[in-house]
Structure 1
């Protein structure tokens, strides 16, 4: 079975190939020009996807020593994401499958992240507790199987990655915010400011808009304007913010570890690249004696390998159960790109 995966949900164009269960290519083209605008410009993102997706496909096939006719299954991200960006990869992949008379499976982007740990040599063991953290999503989940995912909590406002981006922009550090804040906060006093961690009605939910507002108010109260912040205080504010953001995530994870029987702890998504967060997960796994799976950096951000892997699993499910599950009932309604999912509420 040779599987093509295509991911274009935001500002990374990615094409991957899984051949006979082995990842043989995972190409990622990042759109670095968005740095000049302080964030992703949807129209420019869509145009860039159009320009690079075909060359990436050709290169991925070449690396995998395959011809286009050797492909058995085509998969692509079907949402959530930027609508224009999604349409490029989704439409291209579906058209490719149609022209080759091959099967096509749409994949929910978040589910791709959830199962990205299975791309590693040491894989998660069900059931596992999974924290999904990115620029658009913050979710705490229990994954009982490939097709049974329970949502414990999610963000009520900003995703944690979005909060990093906004605070980074506020401090004049640039975009993307996560790497900038991590870089400048390294080895700094994170107790410089005691920023608050939100307490939500649902103990597993998250909220980051208040943390962002607290940073703004601290600056206004102590400096008046951002321009008045002493240069040596910016790393201290960044470190204090990062500490609070990570604490907001790990406190809920710790509650879940106390309340649910799981075998593995997993951290996935773009913000999983944050060193402080990864270190805290190592401590939690050790404290609770749980197996820990964090994907390598290549698989933390948006990538087609996770889409190809998840698409293959969904195809196997479809082969066994046909369209008896709701996930597959509305595949012809995908012009809305709603990204059907197995995730259900507790």
Structure 2
């Protein structure tokens, strides 16, 4: 596949706003997780919460979109000069020639939950009768208006792979000549449906999550926003390949041999024209659930050299659900840009079944190619390969 230039990117999570805060946390092995303080009756767990969303106010022209998810999107869009980069692209190509493709698993459902607590005679109160907010497409509609874009707009909701798959969709739209550039990304925020839903599946840990630890006991949920601008051509940072697969093994449990995950990995490497040994850093899905880490760890162990540096970064941010793919893509791009390969924060004793590629501590060195895995519920899997291109 012809590479696509990644001309701007950013992420906001529990460790802070923008790339600098994220890179600092990764370098210092500093987790953003904290004891759960979300909601009226907080579950006894740890979360990756973004500070300041309660006080944040959208600009007057965007106030009709107000909800926690769109506030986080707005906060994330303002970091790292991202809005300015999109404005420049809009001037180059025109607003109809830039696609917007965003991933989310819950969108604005937190606001809808609130509206249901305010029912009067079976109806939402007047200030909650906002159909554009109470829809899974709310995020994309909001960001499209905020960025002044008029091209194709998609919302992808495939659980944890949502904002990884946005890169694949963008590549197809650009390759087919339907657009000249694409804004991709994802946003998900904490809400009752997420916290209590995952708790009902017995997947939530009462402690900070420990990916690939021998005594791991579940996930820590988080919230995040991330975005990237993709354009035709070559650049210092490039999307080289992607792979997608749905094994449909189970609603919430991965295929025991990682069938779909390996298919996605194979396709990503094939599109990039690379062998597994060419990958210098792997950002693993690594949720800290028993089965996910076992299956993914075995896959990486059998496919990559022992010297490959792999880690899960969910101990830093929590599992940000539909935003996990874009946040971890940003971490992979930072690894290429800075040479920083993160470790596994919170993890103390690696599970011997998971392979020697997984590293506890961060390391530095040239990263020419990075792989990012995102494996969602229902066996919906996506792998992305990013690479270092020529300096501009």
Give TM-score scaled by structure 1 length.
0.35
More helix by percentage? 1
Give TM-score scaled by structure 2 length.
0.32
Larger radius of gyration: 1
